[in-house]
Amino acid sequence: MNLYHYFDKTTGPFCNMSDLSDDEAGELLKRIRIEKPDSMCAKRQDSYVDDRRKFENILKEEFIKKGGKPVRQSPHYMVVEQCKWLESWYENSDYIKIPIEEFDVSMLSFTYGDSHPTFSDKVNDGKEYRKKLYTYEEILGIIDKYGLPQDWNADGKHGPERYVEVHVWSDETIFQTRSK
């Protein structure tokens, strides 16, 4: 299994908006809207920073409930296997691919689909993976049962799940990758 991180080449990988203060993150979102108006990031709702912090708190609480010991306040984001749709999010798109064996899997959590719709009160379709966070071992069973969303829902017509999201709760492998 490979984990992918998509980013804009002009910014670089693993530049995490959640590492900024609320004001700095808000200003960054405004700057993206001006400088990269055609990017997916520029189309985010005004409440995006607040929403992101809310969902990251849920992710962290759920990770700790499962025995996780996060080193970071908020995770770095990756996805399981390649997702062509994510390449369209950035004007100068690129990605980093890292084999899962390079990670301490106890520092990873997963959602089947993006964490925002997974934990949103607006998505109530009764699917078993809603409002759930998974460990590595658990997500393998969900992937085995349903497949990868990018294979059966590449166009998004069958719901909000387009990929399996990975939450990386440590900087260790990320910083090793950034320094290469």
Q: Three-state SS for 147? A: coil
Closest C-alpha to 163, from 104, 118, 103, 99: 118
Q: Please state, for a pLDDT cut of 70, what percent of the chain lies above it.
A: 94
Of the candidates 126, 127, 130, the residue with the CA atom closest to the CA atom of residue 117: 130
Q: Which element (helix H / strand E) includes 51?
A: helix 48-65
Instruction: State the pLDDT at residue 173.
Output: 86
Q: Is the pLDDT of residue 31 over 90?
A: no
Question: Structure pTM?
Answer: 0.88
Q: How confident is the model at residue 74 (pLDDT cuts 50, 70, 90)?
A: very high
**Could you tell me where the DSSP H helices lie in 66-146?**
84-87, 115-119, 136-146
Q: Could you report the per-residue pLDDT of 128-170, keeping only the tens digit for each?
A: 999 999 999 999 999 999 999 999 999 999 989 999 999 999 9
Longest dimension (CA), the chain: 43
Q: Is the pLDDT of residue 176 over 80?
A: no
